[in-house]
Amino acid sequence: MQLAELKSWIDPQRAEIEQFIRELVEINTYTANTAGVDHAMDVFSTFATQKGLSVERVNERHRLLKLPGATRRPRILLIAHMDTVFPPDGDFLHYEPLPDGFVRGPGTGDIKGGLVMGLYAMLATRELHADLDVQLIVSADEETGSPTIRDWYTQGHVGADYAIGLEPGFPQGELSATVPLGVVYERRGYGAIHFTVTGKSAHSGTPHLGLSAIEAMAQRIIRIHGLNAPERGISTNVGIMSGGISPNTVAGSAEAVASFRFERLEDGLATQQAIEAIICESYVTNPDLKLSDSATCKLESFLPPMERTPESQKIIEAVLAEAQRLGHPVVPIARGGGSDANFTSAAGTPSICGMGAPTHGIHTTEEMIYLPMLFERIELLTATLYRLYQAQ
């Protein structure tokens, strides 16, 4: 098959593609519903095997799809996941076709539409050249930060030369046949630190007999917020805080969570250290009691950024070039949040994201995709893969 024949290869399979998306959406794969996630993994693996792909288990519950015998570099890793944010006891459980090619349902966009796109892009790539080394990883718990596969990503995964995340293609306006979709060249990293400040409780009528943990907490919050540096893509925030037991009491303890976001890994690590240093200082002293406040902290989460690099820019340029050739509206964008592509990027693999299904209402009961554009996106994804191989 030639590149110009991609559309004619995809079109006869539209009904099969939609049916497979429907089948996966109808299986509840809320992250905590491990039985549902594992069942959907088995359904997906069986289908992929029937299509001639090989399927391997990664860290027990995750799946890695490969094109058997394909060895031609660069090795390109497609990234998706099976889990969703919709619990099995909720009201949003089923696949629902809507007028004009729209489809609503839990996980249609995040990420089962993109997951099926990745599978068919692999099959199309095989038709173009049987030796092109494209692989697809499917995580079981991405929506909670991929705790059981994170090490696989950060320790070098499959030695990929490029990684492409199949998270939703975000419309730059109302989802329609002509709206541009954003391909993500950069995602900010995220961290959260829980900390507890200790003082000494006392009656508010005799404050000299105590030491206010809330006052000491306030000093920390002011300093943590002072680390904001929007010109460098760094933001800090204490968004939750509690302490004390009543208005008539000098608070003996208080606790809070500081979050921070960053564009570069080195800035994230430096911001983490700065916040921890602020937390561990003492700010309030009662000289009569010879007592100062103290604090302890714990890093609750740390998601590295998906950084924009000269090598990842090559993938973006390939996407934009093929989009222009095909007449597909695509624009490069930066986003917050995160995906498993953050981990591949941190491991040194040039990575991009947002190459999945055209989606509206992600993580809401209005989550939907636009099927005609999804089929076009399979063509764009496959053409991008082929262009990266031709560039070598």
Return the CATH number at 208: 3.30.70.360
CATH number at residue 101: 3.40.630.10
Among residues 134, 124, 121, 117, the alpha carbon closest in space to that of 168 is found at 117
Which of 303, 327, 358 finishes a domain?
Answer: 303
Backbone angles phi, psi at 76, to 5 degrees: -115, 125
Q: How many CA atoms lie within 13 A of 155 on its CB side?
A: 7
Q: Which residues does residue 370 pair with via DSSP β-bridges, in sequence order? A: 102
Q: Cβ neighbours of residue 206 under 8 Å, at least 6 residues apart? A: none
Q: Distance between CA 392 and CA 53 in Å, rounded?
A: 24
The percentage of residues in the chain with a pLDDT greater than 70, rounded to a whole number, is 100
pLDDT of amino acid 141: 97
- Please count the other Cβ atoms lying within 10 Å of the Cβ belonging to residue 27: 21
* pLDDT surpasses 90 at 190: yes
User: Same domain, yes or no, for 241 and 384?
Assistant: no
Helix-strand-coil split of the chain, %, nearest 5: 40, 30, 30
Segment 318-341 shows an average pLDDT of 94
Distances from the Cα of 301 to the Cα of 89, 231, 257, 265, angstroms: 28, 24, 11, 14
User: Same domain, yes or no, for 86 and 135?
Assistant: yes
Q: Cβ neighbours of residue 230 under 8 Å, at least 6 residues apart? A: none
Q: How many residues does the chain have?
A: 392
User: Same domain, yes or no, for 14 and 141?
Assistant: yes
Q: Which residues does residue 10 pair with via DSSP β-bridges, in sequence order? A: none
pLDDT of amino acid 224: 98
Identify whether the C-beta of residue 238 lies closer than 8 Å to the C-beta of residue 221: yes
Identify whether the C-beta of residue 381 lies closer than 8 Å to the C-beta of residue 118: yes
User: Same domain, yes or no, for 49 and 168?
Assistant: yes
Domain residue limits at 119: 3-187+305-390
Q: Distance between CA 135 and CA 152 in Å, rounded?
A: 14
- Cis preceding linkage at 164, omega within 30: no
- Please count the other Cβ atoms lying within 10 Å of the Cβ belonging to residue 337: 15
User: Same domain, yes or no, for 294 and 334?
Assistant: no
Label residue 156 by pLDDT band (50, 70, 90): confident
Q: Distance between CA 45 and CA 50 in Å, rounded?
A: 9
Which of 271, 303, 335 finishes a domain?
Answer: 303
pLDDT of amino acid 155: 86
- Locate all alpha helices (DSSP H) within 247-367, ordered by sequence: 265-280, 310-326, 340-346
User: Same domain, yes or no, for 247 and 337?
Assistant: no
Which of 283, 303, 323 finishes a domain?
Answer: 303
User: Same domain, yes or no, for 331 and 299?
Assistant: no
Q: Distance between CA 208 and CA 50 in Å, rounded?
A: 76
User: Same domain, yes or no, for 115 and 150?
Assistant: yes
Q: Which residues does residue 88 pair with via DSSP β-bridges, in sequence order? A: none
User: Same domain, yes or no, for 144 and 220?
Assistant: no
Backbone angles phi, psi at 215, to 5 degrees: -60, -45
pTM: 0.90
What is the average pLDDT value for the chain, to the nearest integer? 96
The larger pLDDT score, comparing residue 155 to residue 84, is at 84
Q: Cβ neighbours of residue 245 under 8 Å, at least 6 residues apart? A: 201, 251
Q: Which residue in this structure is represented by tokens 């790539």?
A: 125
Q: What is the pLDDT of residues 261-286, one digit of tens each?
A: 999 999 999 999 999 999 999 999 99
* Amino acid (one-letter) located at 229: A
Q: What is the pLDDT of residues 107-137, one digit of tens each?
A: 999 999 999 999 999 999 999 999 999 999 9
pLDDT of amino acid 391: 87
User: Same domain, yes or no, for 25 and 130?
Assistant: yes
User: Same domain, yes or no, for 16 and 162?
Assistant: yes
Among residues 389, 296, 388, 314, the alpha carbon closest in space to that of 350 is found at 314
pLDDT of amino acid 243: 97
Identify whether the C-beta of residue 120 lies closer than 8 Å to the C-beta of residue 19: no
User: Same domain, yes or no, for 29 and 151?
Assistant: yes
Query: How is residue 191 written in tokens?
Result: 């961290």
DSSP letter string, 210-261: SB-HHHHHHHHHHHHHTT-BGGGTBEEEEEEEEE-S-TTEE-SEEEEEEEEE
DSSP 170: E
Segment 91-103 shows an average pLDDT of 97
Q: What is the pLDDT of residues 15-26, one digit of tens each?
A: 999 999 999 999
For the chain, how many structural domains are there in total?
2
Distances from the Cα of 239 to the Cα of 225, 227, 258, angstroms: 11, 15, 7
